[in-house]
């Protein structure tokens, strides 16, 4: 026992600034890379994926998304298959880095929910002004409903189209934009109805943190291609078809 305590004291003294524990939320430091995707950034901020945003395996990603946010393994694997097909990451090793996700017009696109267009410089850090704009679309002051999200999605498109001289938004970008909004709502809303509590949205999209302190719990069922597809389709009907 005494020996054990002595070893413990020694190790604490030897590593005064030891790595934070897995699960602990630590925002990115100056040498850490982040992506345009809030779930990857959140996982890295909690240490469920490498905190520096460096090389991560397919299995690490699938496990982190499933265990922390109830994302179905099949859905994550399909999204990762598409990611490698688009030329991001290292398909041979089946690894990714967060930096690889920043490639413009692979997945990363203009008129994001709360990120600047690449034309304006930084294409991947969340923009709190845009996030607050989304929050201002709340009809009840507490949550973002699918109707609020549809109106915002439509207006973000119009805003980028008006201000970005290099605006690029075709069918691929439209598909991705509706899919991302659906992933967001399906992942962080309470199971039903699909209304995103504002406090939960601020934590996940703003802090890039698991919104546990805000009362969020992961779903007991999974976020899968059926419920994400259905939400995306309904959102698209409500928002209308875009045309750049
Ligand atoms: C597993 C494969 C995934 C990859 C490779 C990926 C990658 C990306 C990339 C590159 C973007 C940037 C698009 C843009 O320009 O706005 C993005 C956005 C987004 N992703 Fe992911 N993502 C994945 C899965 C997920 C999951 C499971 C969620 C669930 C919460 C999610 C939530 C989002 C949201 C909400 C955005 C929009 C951010 C914004 O508009 O500012 N993603 N993702
Ligand atoms: C500008 O638009 C072109 C054509 O769509 C695209 O290839 C390029 O990546 C865009 N660059 C920026 C910074 O938006
Ligand atoms: C995306 O953002 C990163 C970091 O700010 C920057 O290095 C990169 O050039 C940007 N990509 C484009 C196409 O603007
Ligand atoms: C955030 O977005 C707003 C509105 O598009 C823009 O005026 C502002 O410059 C952006 N902020 C940053 C830090 O990029």
pLDDT digits (tens, 9 = 90+) for 85-127: 999 999 999 999 999 999 999 999 999 999 999 999 998 899 9
Q: How many A from CA of 24 to the centre of ligand 1?
A: 22
The percent of residues above 90 in pLDDT, for the chain, comes to 87
Protein residue whose Cα sits closest to atom 5 of ligand 3 = 122
pLDDT digits (tens, 9 = 90+) for 141-190: 999 999 999 999 999 999 999 999 999 999 999 999 999 999 999 999 98
198 by Cβ neighbours in 10 Å (0-12 / 13-18 / 19+) ranks as: middle
Beta bridge partners of 126: 115
Protein residue whose Cα sits closest to atom 2 of ligand 2 = 166
191 by Cβ neighbours in 10 Å (0-12 / 13-18 / 19+) ranks as: exposed
Task: Please choose, from the candidates 58, 30, 59, 61, the residue with its C-alpha nearest in 3D space to the C-alpha of residue 44.
Answer: 61
Ligand 1: residue of 37, 89, 170 to mutate (most ligand atoms within 8 A of CB) is 37
Q: How many A from CA of 118 to the centre of ligand 1?
A: 16
Instruction: Tell me, using a 6 A CB cutoff, whether residue 21 lines ligand 4.
Output: no
Protein residue whose Cα sits closest to atom 12 of ligand 4 = 127
- Taken in order of first residue, the domains within the chain and their CATH numbers are 32-239 (1.10.489.10)
Whole-angstrom Cα distance, residue 35 to residue 27?
13
Of residues 192 and 74, which shows the higher confidence score? 74
Q: Are strands 196-197 and 56-57 parallel, antiparallel or unpaired?
A: unpaired
Q: How many A from CA of 106 to the centre of ligand 1?
A: 12
Mean per-residue pLDDT over the chain, rounded: 93
Whole-angstrom Cα distance, residue 86 to residue 231?
24
SS3 at position 92:
coil
Give the atom of ligand 3 at the shortest distance from the alpha carbon of 104: 13
Residue ranges of E strands in the chain = 56-57, 95-96, 143-144, 196-197
Q: How many A from CA of 110 to the centre of ligand 4?
A: 14
pLDDT digits (tens, 9 = 90+) for 32-46: 999 999 999 999 999
Q: How many A from CA of 230 to the centre of ligand 4?
A: 32
**What's residue 222's pLDDT?**
96
């Amino acid at each position: 026992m005494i020996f054990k305590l002595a070893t413990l004291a020694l190790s604490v003294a030897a590593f005064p600034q030891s790595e934070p524990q897995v699960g602990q939320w630590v925002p990115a430091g100056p040498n850490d890379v982040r992506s345009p995707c809030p779930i990857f950034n959140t996982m890295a901020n909690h240490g469920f994926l490498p905190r520096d945003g460096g090389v991560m395996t397919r299995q690490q990603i699938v496990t982190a998304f499933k265990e922390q946010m109830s994302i179905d393994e099949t859905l994550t694997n399909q999204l990762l298959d598409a990611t490698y097909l688009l030329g991001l990451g290292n398909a041979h090793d089946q690894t990714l880095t967060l930096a690889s996700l920043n490639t413009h017009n692979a997945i990363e696109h203009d008129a994001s929910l709360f990120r600047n267009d690449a034309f304006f410089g930084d294409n991947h850090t969340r923009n709190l002004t845009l996030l607050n704009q989304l929050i201002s679309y709340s009809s009840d002051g507490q949550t973002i409903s699918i109707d609020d999200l549809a109106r915002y999605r439509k207006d973000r498109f119009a805003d980028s189209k008006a201000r970005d001289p290099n605006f690029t938004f075709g069918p691929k970008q439209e598909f991705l934009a509706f899919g991302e909004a659906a992933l967001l709502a399906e992942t962080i809303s309470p199971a039903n109805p699909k209304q995103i509590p504002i406090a939960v949205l601020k934590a996940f999209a703003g802090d890039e943190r698991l919104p546990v302190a805000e009362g969020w719990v992961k779903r007991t069922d999974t976020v899968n291609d059926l419920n994400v597809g259905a939400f995306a389709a309904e959102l698209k009907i409500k928002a209308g078809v875009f045309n750049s």
